Amino acid sequence: MTSDLLLLIFRVLIFPGFLFLLSLTLFCDWFERKIMARMQNRMGPTYTGPFGILQPLADYVKLLTKEDITPRRVGGVIFAVTPVVSFALFMLSAFYLPIDGLNVFHNVGFEGDLILVLSLITLAHFTLFLSGWSSANPYSALGATRILVQFLGYDIPLIMLAAGSALMTGSLSLREIAAKQSVPLAILMPWAFVPFLLVLQAELEEDPFDIPHAETEIVAGYETEFAGRKYAFIRLSKDLQVVFGAALASNLFLGGPYGPLLFGPPAFWFTFWFVLKVLIVIFVMELIEAICARLRIDHVVKANWSLMFPVAVLSLALTVIAVPWLRGATWIELLEAR
Amino acid sequence: MLRVGLTNWARRKSPWVLHFNSGACNACDIEVVALLTPRYDVERFGILLKPTPRHADVLVATGPVTRQCAQRLKRIYEQMPDPKFVVAVGACACSGGVFRKCYNVIKGVDKVIPVDVYVPGCPPRPEAIIDGIVKLLKEVGG
């Protein structure tokens, strides 16, 4: 009983919980900046540690030790609490991912944790909106309303496309969805995977959808008034959001922690494939970000309701039509476990 | 001891910059922007250009500070969280430059806010600006 409790505490705090996800987040931040820089023919962070790999750590330590300013007329408690709450919500939703075959709470999850995770990140987006709204700054308010416009619109296609892979595997549990993909769903149903990546780009506020913090228009959007450690937590939750989004995409469409090569200690190989697939998805998303310019806000809304939404509906319909056919095809033993 | 060392290391390795034009002719501003281009790429040193004073550590100010700009410059400086530093870029920002006889300028950033590093030149080369920031960081790191 005590050893179970100790194991749980170890898993939540160190591996594969808080510390592991935090270092993965810092690494992915460096990875993104480096890819972005190389795509723009620059060096990127170079002199902070080997290949500049400690750059995110330096940024966060510096931000945490800076003066913590609370401007007059901000929304008191909400302004102080939202950065930490959004970080905690993203961290909690990442805990439900099967990182080493099991989720962080050391069980196989439950039927429906996909829905729980999707609603948690919607709540986290709303917290980001609140952080901008409570800032008492016109630029923050503009950024906050832009978050709402963008997220409320793109959450719907995101959930519909995620439902596609749940339909295909016949399960709403993240681990079951990952485990049942002997062939990655990205190959079986590219009509869901490609729009999912685009929608994810909008959810993560990356180019061409970075209007909530468009520097040339509205200073820094909803982050404008945050300084010191509050900004550190906002930034950390943004970085964690990228990792979580990539992990969700790899879990739903690339088989998550299950890879073609598994021998020896399964916990090691599961984590290896998990990290590798997350990095691949992040690479693709950064590629899209580097080659795209920012859309205008009305274009983003139009692209959402007159393009992504019908595409998501069509993709879901196609999945529903294709499921019996793919299940009948014996060469894919996708659903034999059912 | 370790905590102080870590803090100094982090401050030295990640100076985020806010660029403010207090009435310059735009030549210095183009040189500052050139720092971000692939040729000079100051992100190598961890330097990022930030859009808001709340996120910045170093205020890079150009121009002779017109009377109208002085209050804004001061307010932007006050909005930055401590510890904060100021780099005056260009002959105008150091002493008023060619505009020093004009009736509407205050002749230098240091008349309004404390300046840590002066980078003279009309305009200074990007290498000179990098040199100025590196000298500033040496002072920070101890």
Q: How far is A70 from chain B (nearest CA, A)?
A: 10
Say yes or no for a CB contact (<8 Å) between A59 and B44.
no
Helix/strand/coil for A110: coil
- Give 3-state DSSP helix, strand, coil % of chain A, rounded to 5: 70, 0, 30
pLDDT at A331 over 50: no
Give the pLDDT band of residue A31 (cuts 50, 70, 90): very high
**Quick one: CA torsion of B120, B122, B126, B132, rounded to 10 degrees?**
10
Q: What is the residue range of B99's domain?
A: 12-134
Stretch A27-37: mean pLDDT: 90
Q: Where are the domains of chain A?
A: 2-325
Q: How far is B54 from chain A (nearest CA, A)?
A: 5
Largest CA distance in chain B: 52
DSSP state of B20: E
Whether the complex's predicted ipTM surpasses the cut of 0.90:
no
Q: How many residues does chain B have?
A: 142
Which of A32, A34, A53, A66 is the best residue to mutate to test the B interface, defined by the most B CB atoms within 10 Å of its own CB? A66
Which residues have a Cβ under 8 Å from the Cβ of B86 and sit 6 or more positions away?
B58, B59, B61, B77, B109, B113, B114, B115, B116, B117
- Interface contact A2, partner B, CB < 8 A: no
pLDDT at A35 over 70: yes
What does the block give as tokens for B114?
């404390």
- Interface contact B6, partner A, CB < 8 A: yes
Distance CA A322, CA A332 (A): 13
What does the block give as tokens for A84?
């930490």
CATH number for B103: 3.40.50.12280
Q: How many domains does chain B have?
A: 1
Can you give the C-alpha Rg of chain A in angstroms? 20
Q: What global pTM score does this model have? A: 0.87
Closest-CA residue to B11 (of B77, B96, B81, B99): B81
Stretch A165-194: mean pLDDT: 82
pLDDT value of residue B50: 87
Burial class of A199 by CB neighbour count within 10 A (0 to 12, 13 to 18, 19+):
buried
Which residues in chain B touch residue A223, judged by CB atoms under 8 angstroms apart? 52, 55
Size of interface A-B (CB pairs under 8 A): 89
The pLDDT tens digits for A132-178 are 888 888 888 888 888 888 888 888 888 888 888 888 887 888 888 88
Which residues have a Cβ under 8 Å from the Cβ of A328 and sit 6 or more positions away?
none
Which residues in chain A touch residue B43, judged by CB atoms under 8 angstroms apart? 33, 37, 42-45
Residue scoring higher pLDDT (A114 or B1) = A114
Q: How far is A274 from chain B (nearest CA, A)?
A: 29
- Interface contact B141, partner A, CB < 8 A: no
